[in-house]
A and B are shown apart, each in its own frame.
Chain A
Amino acid sequence: MTDRISHNADTPLLRVDSLSKSYGPVVGCRDVAFDLWPGEVLGIVGESGSGKTTLLKCVSAQLEPDGGAVQYDTRDDGPRDVYGLSEARRRLLMRTDWGIVHQNPRDGLRFGISAGANVGERLIAVGERHYGDLRAEVTDWLERVEMDIGRMDDLPSTFSGGMQQRVQIARNLITRPRLVFMDEPTSGLDVSVQARLLDLIRMLVGTLRIACIIVTHDLGVVRLLTHRTIVMQKGEVVEHGLTDQVLDDPQHPYTQLLVSSILPV
């Protein structure tokens, strides 16, 4: 894992260039550009409707942008335009080298099959055909996300929200992706579950050195997990910098408003 990162140390893992997407007259995001380096965690914050999710979807190849480019440093042949790849390669990339953790577990998990099958699906998709090996790998990953192994053959619908998110994380990490997209991974969970999940994500991202883009409206999440932060308002980036800098010394009036709106306990 460390080898690959030092190997590509002079190329960003992901380069987003003047990305725009509008829904008719409504602007989703406009002229967004940033680089993401291997192992780096980037937060995207802003209020509801500020274009965070649109941006994430455009960057993660789920929604084709109107303009701009997304370039990803592929394992096999270096930086490639994500939307220039054939559909087969793009889908392969999305289920091997990338991970996508959805806000709603129903979007990211198959609810008709057991947790174990959910976690193993990607391995099967890339050709694992040995049940014993598969089972061992799935067990290992469920342990890593601190799930009760006794429940691996239960359906996700019998799990609590926090457990469903853990399964979703394991399902994505099992192919050892280099880049994971997370859309509000902890919203809708109560604070103690949230704290444990954040702790887990921080641990996993840190030890596996996964690059991560996290969309959230929760500045606490940003503070805890991310190295750099992008602040969005009305589809545009208004501030961009190191997380501590952005949160402790906000320059843009909108960021100042956001930071000052955090409820004190």
Chain B
Amino acid sequence: MTEPAQQPLTGYNFAYLDEQTKRMIRRSILKAVAIPGHQIPFGSREMPLPYGWGTGGIQVTASIIGKDDTLKVIDQGADDTTNAVSIRKFFAATAGVATTERTTEATIVQTRHRIPETPLTENQIIVYQVPIPEPLRWLEPREVETRKMHALAEYGPMHVQLYEQIAKYGRIAASYDYPVVVNGRYLMRPSPIPKFDNPKMDNNPALQLFGAGREKRIYAVPPYTSVKSLDFEDYPFSVESWEHCCALCGSTDSYLDEIITDDRGGKMFVCSDTDYCTQRQENGHFGPLGSEAAE
């Protein structure tokens, strides 16, 4: 589960990036923390993986990680997918830091598409990988205009989009990357996490950092900051719910993935957060298809 710290690879600076670059990124992070939800430009570097695979998140992690940190990386909630494994290995190799799959043991969690089910603490930092940082992008193609809209807090068009969804589908249909207002001021994209995770961002004790490598933007939600999901008074924000519990651990309050098990319509619902699911099973919670049932 947890890999101890090791000797980093020789020939690389600690955590891959050079010290000047890390300082530049840290300055942007500080500014981002000072203005919650506001996008700060930074000089994004070429990283040894393609855009869209988490170059922004990696650069943020590289510039905040220290020798004593323990890193956890998740992708869609899972610790064992390609993206998560390779980023974890990357930092184990270039920084020699300890890595873990346990949310509670991590000091830094880098994530794509999920927030862990286990509540985060004040001693943790969560780093999100962000593909498109600008929440107004599909409403207003001009960058100059979107900046002006942020400056003047003209966020009406975002609600127009929600209106449009209610008119069309009878409900707010957005289910991921659901727009939020941070600290009562800036409209922010929470990255493509399911809206199920939006309430976890609100008043979270952990520092939340967002890095977009291709778009060269960093933004942040400081600990204990209000994060409100947009809605209408008569169509309030609500999260997804399932009729099933997790087939493996029996959890009824975590985000479930639907897994197709055969070509005859067989399927199962399991926690997308693999660590959370494993912990529950180790503590003796099982669902209909959990290990005990299988034995």
Residues of A within 8 A of B (CB): 87-88, 91, 110, 113-114, 116-117, 120-122, 124-126, 129-132, 134-135, 152-153
Contacts and interface: CB of A to CB of B under 8 A. Distances in A.
Given A113-B164, A114-B164, A130-B232, A124 B152 contact: no
Contacts of A110: 160
Given A129-B232, A130-B232, A131-B166, A87 B152 contact: yes
A117 B156 contact: no
A124 B167 CA distance: 15
B136 to A, nearest CB: 13
B134 to A, nearest CB: 17
B163 A134 contact: yes
Nearest to B166: A131
Contacts of A117: 160, 163-164, 167
Contacts of B168: 114, 153
B91 to A, nearest CB: 42
Contacts of B152: 87-88, 91
B229 to A, nearest CB: 13
A134 B232 CA distance: 10
Contacts of A122: 156
Contacts of B157: 121, 125
A152 B161 CA distance: 15
A258 B77 CA distance: 73
Given A91-B154, A125-B154, A153-B168, A120 B163 contact: yes
Nearest to A116: B167
Contact of B159 (A88, A116, A124, A132): A124
Given A91-B152, A91-B154, A153-B167, A130 B160 contact: no
Contacts of A88: 152
B167 A130 contact: no
B233 interface: yes
Nearest to A122: B156
Interface residues of B, number: 17
Contacts of A87: 148, 152
Contacts of B148: 87
A129 B233 contact: yes
Contacts of A91: 152, 154
Nearest to B230: A129
Contact of A121 (B156, B232, B234, B235): B156
Given A88-B152, A121-B157, A130 B233 contact: yes
Interface string B215-257: 0000000000000000011110000000000000000000000
A130 B163 CA distance: 10
Contacts of B232: 129-131, 134
Given A91-B152, A114-B167, 9 more contacts: A110-B160, A113-B161, A114-B168, A116-B163, A120-B160, A121-B160, A124-B160, A130-B233, A131-B234
Contacts of B235: 131
Contacts of A125: 154, 156-157
Report the 7 A-B pairs with minimum CB-CB distance, sorted nearest first.
A125-B156, A131-B232, A130-B233, A124-B159, A124-B156, A88-B152, A117-B164
A129 B163 CA distance: 10
A120 B152 CA distance: 20
Nearest to B138: A112
B17 to A, nearest CB: 39
Contacts of B154: 91, 125
B163 A132 contact: no
Interface string B52-79: 0000000000000000000000000000
